[in-house]
């Protein structure tokens, strides 16, 4: 079969590293720091980039190569680099291209640590940024482009507000102004959304979330064109945010079940959001595939399904929210997401606690906002725990 014409699920299962002389059916873990050269000429050719192959696991490893090959096929990109964490992926996807005096244009709704990179780390090196509200029209984005703007960086859906950005519009804008367009696709995963189809030059992932799917491994990836990935690979090679082979093996195996897991996550999340929207104690619910979501039409255009995250706010503000979280019996109270287990999080006091009150308000993080990463337990059991926690938090 022509691999290019295979469906998503087939690519996720069948793309594998080359079978060894042992004829294994499942790829082994290559727990080795280095690789042996056949002779001096091969060593020279490998270091001169005249021959492709593994030299040192900080550079590449069969497990990590397989993980990247799968992601590139699923995201429809030419090349990619695996990293030790999602945040290392976010950092090198920007730092590989930005120099002192450069400017980055970004959506205001970003994950807290990404916000810290732009506001605390990059200014140390003379790199400036401008935020644009996710709901701003395209002309506002264009008006904020400066002569030294080198990159547009967005995440969509955003964390935790679940705001969306028109990828097609920004893709066209970036091409018109010769600016690199970088999209954090963590929440959607390649199964629900493919930014490269809409004009993104770089797609970044925290594989720790839905790609792993079981809260086991930390990892990330930067994907894009071969030319751009040469710059990313150079930075990664010489600064060392290498993914461990064990985690690369886990994440590659996890991709085999991504499609079936995301289907169920999304089915549960939509049903739960509809249930919560009609609950008398809930002020509002955010979910991209709810018709009440302000960007519902855009979500239907660029996403296959609505994702596995739901956010809502109970009547009673932050104190009610705290009582609700403390009353949960089955749901996990942790800062992670994308797990088989349903997780409840209070963004204002955890993932986005480093933001000021004004910064949180600007991205829709109200004091009592609760984020639910909807898992794979039976839907009625998830509802039962939510209902009893709502009742006990009155």
Q: Residue 55: inside a domain, yes or no?
A: no
Q: Looking at the structure, do residues 249 and 265 belong to the same domain, yes or no?
A: no
Within a domain: 270: yes
In terms of residue numbers, what domain contains 197? 3-30+61-255
Are 263 and 251 found together in one domain? no
DSSP-based three-state secondary structure for 169: helix
CATH number at 363 reads 3.90.1150.10
HSE, CB side, 13 Å, CA atoms: give it for residue 309: 27
Backbone dihedral region for residue 286 (phi beyond 0: left; psi -120 to 50: alpha; all else: beta) = beta
In a domain, 39, yes or no: no
Average pLDDT value for the chain? 94
Residue 4, pLDDT score: 74
Domain count along the chain: 2
Q: Is the pTM of this model over 0.75?
A: yes
Is residue 39 predicted with pLDDT exceeding 90? Answer: yes
Same domain as 212, residue 65: yes
| CATH classification at residue 193 | 3.40.640.10
Chosen domain end from 231, 255, 279: 255
Residues 119 and 186 in one domain: yes
226 CB burial (10 A radius; 0-12, 13-18, 19+): exposed
In a domain, 51, yes or no: no
Domain boundary among 255, 270, 287: 255
Dist CA 352 CA 202 (whole Å) = 25
CA 81 to chain centre: 14
Task: Answer yes or no: do 241 and 316 share one domain.
Answer: no
Mean pLDDT of 299-316: 95
Residues 208 and 273 in one domain: no
Which of these ranges, 31-45, 60-74, 256-270, 363-377, has the smallest mean pLDDT? 363-377
Answer yes or no: is 278 within a domain: yes
Residue 52 falls inside a structural domain:
no
- Per residue in 233-253, pLDDT (tens digit) is 999 999 999 999 999 999 999
Q: Say if residue 286 is in the same domain as residue 251.
A: no
Q: Quick one: pLDDT at residue 347?
A: 81
- Cα separation of 165 and 321, whole Å? 28
Check whether residue 67 and residue 155 sit in a common domain: yes
Residue 352 has what pLDDT?
Answer: 66
pLDDT (0 to 100) of residue 330: 97
**160 shares its domain with 279:** no
For 56-64, what is the mean pLDDT?
96
- Choose between 109 and 96: higher pLDDT: 96
Q: What are the phi and psi torsion angles at 343 (to 5°)?
A: -125, 135
Q: With respect to residue 42, please indicate whether it lies within any of the assigned structural domains.
A: no
Looking at the fold, whether 283 and 246 belong to one and the same domain comes out as no
In a shared domain, residues 248 and 144: yes
* Residue 188 banded pLDDT, cuts 50, 70, 90: very high
> What's the sign of the alpha-carbon dihedral 142, 145, 150, 155?
negative
Q: What percent of the chain is predicted at pLDDT more than 90?
A: 84
Looking at the structure, tell me whether residues 287 and 178 fall in a common domain. Answer: no
Report CA Rg, the chain: 21
- On whether residue 300 sits in a domain, the answer given is yes
Domain boundary among 221, 255, 289: 255
């Amino acid at each position: 079969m022509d691999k290019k014409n295979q469906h998503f699920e087939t690519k996720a299962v069948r793309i594998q590293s080359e079978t060894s002389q042992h004829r294994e059916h499942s790829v082994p873990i290559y727990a080795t720091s280095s690789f042996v050269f056949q002779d001096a000429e091969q060593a020279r050719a490998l270091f001169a980039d005249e021959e492709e192959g593994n030299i040192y696991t900080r550079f590449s490893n069969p497990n990590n190569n397989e993980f990247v090959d799968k992601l590139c096929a699923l995201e429809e990109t030419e090349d990619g680099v695996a990293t030790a964490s999602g945040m290392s992926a976010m950092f090198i996807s920007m730092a590989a291209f930005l120099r002192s005096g450069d400017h980055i244009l970004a959506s205001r709704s970003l994950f807290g640590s990404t916000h810290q990179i732009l506001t605390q780390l990059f200014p140390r090196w003379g790199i400036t940024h401008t935020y644009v509200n996710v709901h701003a029209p395209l002309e506002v984005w264009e008006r904020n482009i400066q002569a030294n703007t080198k990159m547009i960086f967005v995440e969509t859906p955003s964390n935790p507000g679940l705001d969306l950005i028109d990828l097609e519009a920004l893709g066209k804008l970036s091409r018109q102004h010769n600016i690199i367009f970088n999209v954090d696709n963590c929440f959607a995963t390649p199964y629900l959304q493919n930014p490269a189809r809409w004009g993104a030059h770089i797609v970044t992932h925290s594989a720790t979330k839905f790609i792993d799917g079981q809260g086991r491994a930390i990892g990330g990836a930067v994907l894009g064109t071969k030319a751009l990935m040469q710059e990313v690979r150079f930075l990664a090679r010489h600064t060392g945010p290498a993914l461990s082979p064990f985690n690369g093996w886990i994440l590659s195996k996890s991709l085999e079940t991504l499609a079936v897991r995301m289907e169920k996550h999304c089915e549960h999340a939509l049903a739960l959001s509809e249930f919560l929207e009609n609950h008398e104690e809930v002020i509002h619910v955010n979910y991209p595939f709810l018709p009440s979501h302000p960007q519902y039409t855009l979500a239907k255009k660029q996403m296959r399904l609505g994702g596995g995250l739901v956010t809502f706010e109970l009547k009673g503000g932050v104190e009610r929210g705290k009582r609700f979280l403390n009353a949960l019996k089955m749901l996990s109270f942790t800062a992670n997401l994308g797990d088989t287990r349903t997780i409840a999080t209070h963004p204002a006091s955890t993932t986005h606690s480093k933001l000021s009150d004004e910064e949180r308000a600007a991205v829709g993080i109200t004091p009592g906002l609760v984020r639910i990463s909807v898992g794979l337990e039976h839907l009625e059991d998830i509802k039962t725990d939510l209902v009893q926690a709502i009742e006990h938090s009155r």
